[in-house]
Structure 1
Amino acid sequence: MPYDKVGRITYLFCLNVVDVASRYKASIPIGAYSVKDREGILTSKTIARALEKIYDDPEIPLVWPKLLITDRGPEFRGDCEVLMMEHNVKIQKAKSKRTMGIVERYNRTLVERLFPSQDASDLLTLHLYKRSRAWVKNLPTVVEDINNSITYQIGISPVEAIKNDEIIANPSKPRNGPIGYDEEQLFYNDLVRYLLEPGELEGGGRRRAGDMNWSPKVYHIREALVQKNQPILYWLEDDDCHGPERSFVREELQVIDPDTELPPQWVLSN
């Protein structure tokens, strides 16, 4: 985030928390008296304090969760892990950006809602040659408005959703055909290849014209998660019980006929 000095503290980070079921959001600005060492500000101790501030705040209806999904940053280790153990919260490290999709979308929404006010201020003060960096004072208002706005996937606002015992969410992407319990399921005996992400085999993060589309190895279905109104999620493993860490939907899997015969090894190796 832009450096925003409020009093003697300069804020440059924002910790965002999203309840997956209700989509209720909470945000805490993080700053310091000195910002010379950015890495020294965003520590596990800082994150632990911010999380305590969120979950112990009587004005925020969030309760300590059973599972906290975070990225792999070092700030979510140490004191943060100790705090989660004290509250019997399991920490899961995200396997990919897609795993953090809900909070990543919230991060983007915050930027889209906070930055226009900076642009408006800049237009009004062009003669001062000083750009606005203010976002901390507007943060509570923006978060409150987001929590009171209807969320497409659940059909109600997060403020209303968090009061319910059960929430049924619509799929994030429309699908033509059966879904959830009505979807045709793959099983362990099915052999599959999975759709490769750009640069997954060759590195670089970009797909090249000659890159393979599907994994060269063939896998079994290790586990499947079936939920109402959601695509079935699959986890894969090979004959040695190894496989990709992320999950897949049916469209990302290519079923292989068990009678498929590969060329001889001497052909493959040459």
Structure 2
Amino acid sequence: MPYDKVGQITYLFCLNIVNVALRYKASILIGVYSVKDRQGILISATIARSLEKIYDDPECSLIWLKLLITDRGSEFKGDCEKLIKKHGVKIQKAKSKYTMGIVERYNRTLVEKLFPSQNASDLLILDRRSRAWVKNLLIVVENINNSITCQLGISPVDAIKEKEVFVKPSYLWGGPIGFDEEKLSSDVLVRYLLYPIDLEDGRRRAGDLNWSSHIYYIRESMVQKNQPVLYWLEEVPFGLTDDDDYVVKYPERSFVREELMVILFDTELLPQWVLTN
């Protein structure tokens, strides 16, 4: 976020939290008295204090959760981990931004709602850029929490007061799901769909592969009610069985059926001599 000075404090960041089940959002401001101290502000002690401020606030309906998913930043270690474990909360480190998709979408929503007022100010005041966002943050968060969501059918503010809430899928699944979905057998060979993070520079280019160059078999699968079947893969080391130094690849993330391309057993690859000509 752009630096926004309110009084004597310059606000640099805001810590965003989303209750995944209830879609309830909370944001806590993080600032310093001097911008020179910005390098030492985003540390685990700061995050720990921010979490306490959110969950110990009697006006905030959030309670200490069972599982906290964070990215792999150092600010979520140290004091932050101690605080989380003190409250009996399990910590899970996200393997990619896709795992943090709900929070990343909330971050984007905040930008979409906070920045238009800055742009409007820039059109009226031409001699300086507007960086104001702090004064509108709590208003925007309150508006989001009081808006009815498609998944819940009610607002997060109302949902957090209920003992049980039924959550609809974020989009309709085009076929059987859960225990009704046909599961791939463990003896099939597959390639998986490549995301930009799987590519060399972290972004897709016109000539990049769409599917993994290596072939994998299904190491493990998991079936859940009303959820797509998840698969974990292990590489098939074709032609490398005599290489003791070769490390078999295990993709960290799980996959759904649509992200896997089944390789038929009678599929023939190009002969090796093609690569030498």
Among 231, 235, 245, which residue is 1:234 paired with?
Answer: 231
Q: Which moved more, 1:81-90 or 1:163-172?
A: 163-172
Task: Return the alpha-carbon distance in structure 1 between the equivalents of residues 7 and 119 of structure 2.
Answer: 22
Aligned to 2:201: 204
Aligned to 2:156: 158
Aligned to 2:253: 246
Alignment partner of 2:64: what SS?
Answer: coil
Q: CA offsets, 1:149-189, max 9 Å, x none?
A: 01122322111222334444333344322233322222433
Task: Return the alpha-carbon distance in structure 2 between the equivalents of residues 60 and 174 of structure 1.
Answer: 32
Matches within 5 A, 1:19-168: 19-126=19-126, 129-168=127-166
Task: Return the alpha-carbon distance in structure 2 between the equivalents of residues 267 and 154 of structure 1.
Answer: 58
Amino acid at match of 1:80: C
1:27: Cα distance to partner? 0.2
Amino acid at match of 1:145: N
Task: Return the alpha-carbon distance in structure 2 between the equivalents of residues 153 and 267 of structure 1.
Answer: 55
Aligned to 1:213: 210
Task: Return the alpha-carbon distance in structure 2 between the equivalents of residues 84 and 15 of structure 1.
Answer: 15
Amino acid at match of 2:231: Y
Q: Which moved more, 1:92-101 or 1:34-43?
A: 34-43
Report if the CA contact (8 A) 1:168-1:229 is conserved. Answer: no
Alignment partner of 2:196: what SS?
Answer: coil
Task: Return the alpha-carbon distance in structure 2 between the equivalents of residues 78 and 182 of structure 1.
Answer: 44
Q: Over aligned residue pairs, what C-alpha RMSD do you find?
A: 2.4
Q: For the structure 1 residues 192 and 165, does the alpha-carbon distance in structure 2 shift closer, same or farther, using more than 3 Å as the test?
A: farther
Q: For the structure 1 residues 125 and 263, does the alpha-carbon distance in structure 2 shift closer, same or farther, using more than 3 Å as the test?
A: closer
Q: For the structure 1 residues 142 and 199, does the alpha-carbon distance in structure 2 shift closer, same or farther, using more than 3 Å as the test?
A: closer
**Number of equivalenced pairs:** 266
Report if the CA contact (8 A) 2:67-2:91 is conserved. Answer: yes
Q: For the structure 1 residues 167 and 256, does the alpha-carbon distance in structure 2 shift closer, same or farther, using more than 3 Å as the test?
A: farther
Task: Return the alpha-carbon distance in structure 1 between the equivalents of residues 86 and 197 of structure 2.
Answer: 40
Q: Which moved more, 1:91-100 or 1:157-166?
A: 157-166
1:65: Cα distance to partner? 1.4
1:255: Cα distance to partner? 1.6
Task: Return the alpha-carbon distance in structure 1 between the equivalents of residues 78 and 275 of structure 2.
Answer: 47
Q: For the structure 1 residues 154 and 191, does the alpha-carbon distance in structure 2 shift closer, same or farther, using more than 3 Å as the test?
A: farther
Among 246, 252, 263, which residue is 1:256 paired with?
Answer: 263
1:103: Cα distance to partner? 0.4
Task: Return the alpha-carbon distance in structure 2 between the equivalents of residues 268 and 214 of structure 1.
Answer: 21
Aligned to 2:240: none
Task: Return the alpha-carbon distance in structure 2 between the equivalents of residues 27 and 179 of structure 1.
Answer: 35
Q: CA offsets, 1:237-261, max 9 Å, x none?
A: 2368741111212111012234546
Alignment partner of 2:228: what SS?
Answer: strand
Task: Return the alpha-carbon distance in structure 2 between the equivalents of residues 199 and 75 of structure 1.
Answer: 22
Task: Return the alpha-carbon distance in structure 1 between the equivalents of residues 122 and 13 of structure 2.
Answer: 22
1:9: Cα distance to partner? 0.7
Q: For the structure 1 residues 199 and 267, does the alpha-carbon distance in structure 2 shift closer, same or farther, using more than 3 Å as the test?
A: farther
Q: Which moved more, 1:23-32 or 1:244-253?
A: 244-253
Show structure 2 runs of 5+ residues with no match: 237-246
Aligned to 1:16: 16
Report if the CA contact (8 A) 2:32-2:38 is conserved. Answer: no
Task: Return the alpha-carbon distance in structure 2 between the equivalents of residues 88 and 187 of structure 1.
Answer: 38
